[in-house]
Amino acid sequence: MKNILTILFLFIFLNSNTAQDLSGKWLGILKIQGMELDLYFNISKKENNYTATLDVPKQGANGIPVTAIELVDSTLNISVGALGMTYMGIIKNDSIIKGEFKQRGTLLPLDLKRVTEEATILVRPQTPKTPFPYKEEKITFRNTKDQITLAGTLSLPENTTDFPTVILISGSGPQNRNSEIFGHQPFWVIADYLTRQGIGVLRFDDRGTEESQGDFSTATSLDFAEDVRAAVDYLKTRKDISADKIGLIGHSEGGTIAPLVASQSNAVGFIVLLAGPGMRGKELLLLQKATIEKASEIPAPITERGQVVFGGAYDMILNSDPKDPTVRDSLIAYFRSSYNNLMPEDQLHSLANQLSSPWMMNFIKHDPTLVLQKVQVPVLALNGGKDLQVPAKENLEAIEAALTKGGNTRFSTKQFPNLNHLFQSCETGLVSEYGLLEETFSEEVLEEVSIWIKKNNTKD
């Protein structure tokens, strides 16, 4: 649900066989989904080779080592295999490179210009700082079904026993244990706050991300649910954790995964849904699209046309077999016809690749209400009133209706008027604001979650 392009580059080696000197600082502004992401490449030359680092100010990242660049005549080629990212640029002169950025089927223009100013790293005042008044331990656990090892951090209160412990479940896209986005580290902020309040917290890198094994690109929410089950099983082996007080906190897609696990495991005692979907994937994506376009002041006729076209594409997926190899080609033909051959071929293929991915096909078909009806443990569902990705009113109402239909009376829902999808105080709720806001996660929501967890884990 985030749909945020995360830029994390590894070591980069530049082989130069021309006389051109690229030494210096190069700025590129990546524009995607209404937001702008500044990329600063800091290039240094040693003999005939170059090395580089990358600054991404809106992600709070500075001095990231960068990998695999080739300079042939006036063409600069950059590839990052681990991220599926490539960049090809034509050097126009000593201060301009015009090119294209490509990542996982998405192709975007990205021109670099030589600059002298330093990148400004935005302040993130809520990021935890040592020393911590609690124990923190790096741990690993095993998903035996998929034969992968996952890595995370376990934070435990000191000088107390019989406390509740929660597992944090991230939203869509490959997330590290801190759920890092635009320099914000919301899962670290949540873990720090809750542990200080006497609640244990396990947060872990998504499969295939940072220190965790596995293949993220082929995984669906069902696979991620298996990872969470493995985390629950791990906590049950710990003698310093109360096995009857283990809960789940899921953000966005994590709010879909938490009910999946809770409905099938007697070891989960409660769940918290932060911007968790209550609507079927097809309907949620259409609502999200319309809501974002309205906030972005897209003309109504364009939005209405998009609802028809994309609704038709989602119906094709709903009626398809996930293993049918022709789905992608059918989508390409459908969009080509729907837009009268006016959509560029690269965009057609990028769109079809996204919609026919295992994760997206599963998401479009999944109906969370059918799962929520089976959840019988206490549930807290919270949403931001300015959330444009999982709109609060419609999703909270759907969650309430599903839990009620299933006979669950131990639930509470609440909407926070001025918060966005990341639970930041905001003006518009648009993705373009996320990196500009200093607040990482609303303390009002943190307090609400903490009080509710302790209330539902106190023996009468």
Residue among 56, 55, 77 nearest 67 (CA): 77
| pLDDT of amino acid 4 | 36
CATH 2.40.128.20 corresponds to the domain 13-115: yes
Q: What pLDDT is recorded for position 30? A: 84
How many alpha carbons fall within 13 Å on the CB side of residue 386?
Answer: 17
* 233 pLDDT above the threshold of 60: yes
Tokens standing for residue 229: 């089950």
| Mean residue pLDDT across the chain | 88
Residue 34: per-residue pLDDT? 59
pLDDT value at position 322? 77
**Would you say residue 92 has pLDDT above 70?**
yes
Q: How far is CA 261 from CA 165, 179, 223, 225, 257, in A?
A: 16, 20, 11, 6, 6
Which neighbouring-strand residues pair with 12?
none
8-to-60, 131, 226, 237, 355 alpha-carbon distances in Å: 12, 28, 26, 34, 24
Judged on CB neighbours under 10 Å (0-12, 13-18, 19+), 427 is: exposed
| pLDDT exceeds 90 at position 82 | no
Residue whose C-alpha is closest to residue 228's, from 279, 280, 170: 170
Q: How far apart are CA 169 and CA 417, in angstroms?
A: 24
Residue range 292-312: mean pLDDT, rounded: 94
Q: Which of 154, 150, 126, 130 is nearest to 140 (CA)?
A: 150
CATH code of the region 134-280+366-455: 3.40.50.1820
**Are 183 and 120 contacting, i.e. CB atoms less than 8 angstroms apart?**
no
- Does 397 score more than 90 pLDDT? yes
- Residue 360 · residue 322 · CB < 8 Å: no
Torsion over CA of 139, 158, 239 and 231, rounded to 10 degrees?
-40
Which pLDDT score is estimated for 20? 67
Inform me whether the pLDDT recorded for 3 exceeds 50: no
pLDDT band at 12 (very low <50, low <70, confident <90, very high): very low
Virtual CA dihedral for 44, 45, 46, 48, nearest 10 degrees? 150
Residue type, 251: H
Per the confidence metrics, is the pTM higher than 0.85? no
Find which of 30-34, 58-62, 196-200 is predicted with most confidence, using mean pLDDT. 196-200
Domain ranges of the chain: 13-115, 134-280+366-455, 281-364
Per-residue pLDDT of 409-432, as tens digits, reads: 999 999 999 999 999 999 999 988
Distance from the first to the final alpha carbon of the chain: 38
Confidence grade of residue 127 (pLDDT, cut at 50, 70, 90): very high
Q: What is the mean pLDDT of residues 172-183?
A: 90
Name the nearest CA neighbour of 361 among 390, 333, 319. Answer: 319
Residue 165 corresponds to which tokens in the numbers above? 């412990």
Q: What pLDDT is attached to residue 14?
A: 34
User: Checking phi first, is residue 304 left (phi over 0); if not, alpha (psi -120 to 50) or beta?
Assistant: alpha
Structure token pair of residue 126 = 């809520």
At 237 the pLDDT is 96
Q: How many CB atoms lie within 10 A of CB 257?
A: 29
36 CB burial (10 A radius; 0-12, 13-18, 19+): exposed
pLDDT of residue 61: 63
Closest CA to 368 of 391, 393, 407, 395: 395
- At 282, the amino acid letter reads K
Rounded to an integer, what distance in angstroms lies between the CA atom of residue 9 and that of residue 91? Answer: 22
pLDDT on residue 1: 47
pLDDT tier at 342, thresholds 50, 70, 90: confident
Q: What is the pLDDT of residues 241-292, one digit of tens each?
A: 999 999 999 999 999 999 999 999 999 999 999 999 999 999 999 999 999 9
pLDDT band at 11 (very low <50, low <70, confident <90, very high): very low
